[in-house]
């Protein structure tokens, strides 16, 4: 998303998102792909939550998966942490690894998501973690490995391989 439109054009796009005509909404979402702003992220996440239209949901998911501005990261994290969006959690976490932005500052959150959620969300969190490339403080790495070691005793057999893989991966990004 980049800024190519004037403020008035952007406001009209946001207004179109509220239309009851799904074609108008889909068109507005296409416009946001070109001219969206960071401040649009909460609006899109709310639409993802409220819409029952599968095509609109898919278009929003595509926008979130293609974010390129690093200032969108805190907004994505805020949505992931918001219980209101629990039903969208898998999609939100998945968009984090799909968009390729740096979520390494939030390693503890993704480890918690891996430990505490069902396999589908855990797998998405695992993918975010194993795609991290930024070096992370060794003390933080050690804390997360310890957390995973403790959780191994009570987790499902389905998630154990993911957790073991993360335990093996984390030292490679520690400093």
Range of the domain at 130: 103-175
- Residue at 165 is within a domain: yes
55-94 confidence digits (pLDDT tens):
999 999 999 999 999 999 999 999 999 999 999 999 999 9
- Residue at 111 is within a domain: yes
104-133 confidence digits (pLDDT tens):
999 999 999 999 999 999 999 999 999 999
- Residue at 154 is within a domain: yes
pLDDT at 3 over 60: no
Answer whether 113's CB lies under 8 Å from 148's CB.
no
Mean of per-residue pLDDT scores for the chain? 92
- Residue at 156 is within a domain: yes
Angle, alpha carbons 67-71-76 (nearest 5°): 65
Read off the pTM. Answer: 0.89
- Residue at 47 is within a domain: no
Which residue would you say has higher pLDDT here, 78 or 10? 78
Q: Of 116, 134, 121, nearest to 173 (Cα)?
A: 134
> What is the number of structural domains in the chain?
1
- Residue at 130 is within a domain: yes
């Amino acid at each position: 998303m980049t800024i190519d439109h004037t403020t008035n054009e952007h406001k009209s796009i946001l207004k179109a998102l509220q239309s009851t005509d799904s074609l108008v909404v889909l068109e507005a979402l296409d416009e946001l792909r070109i001219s969206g702003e960071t401040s649009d992220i909460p609006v899109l996440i709310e639409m993802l939550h409220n819409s029952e239209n599968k095509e609109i949901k898919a278009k929003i998911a595509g926008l979130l998966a293609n974010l390129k501005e690093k200032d969108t990261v805190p907004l994505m994290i805020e949505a992931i942490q918001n219980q209101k969006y629990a039903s969208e959690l898998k999609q939100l976490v998945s968009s984090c690894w799909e968009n390729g932005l740096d979520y390494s500052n939030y390693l503890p959150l993704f480890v918690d998501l891996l430990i505490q959620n069902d396999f589908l969300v855990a797998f998405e969190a695992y993918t975010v973690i194993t795609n991290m490339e930024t070096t992370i403080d060794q003390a933080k790495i050690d804390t997360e490995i310890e957390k995973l070691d403790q959780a191994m005793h009570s987790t499902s057999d389905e998630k154990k391989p993911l957790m073991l893989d993360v335990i093996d991966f984390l030292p490679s990004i520690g400093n």
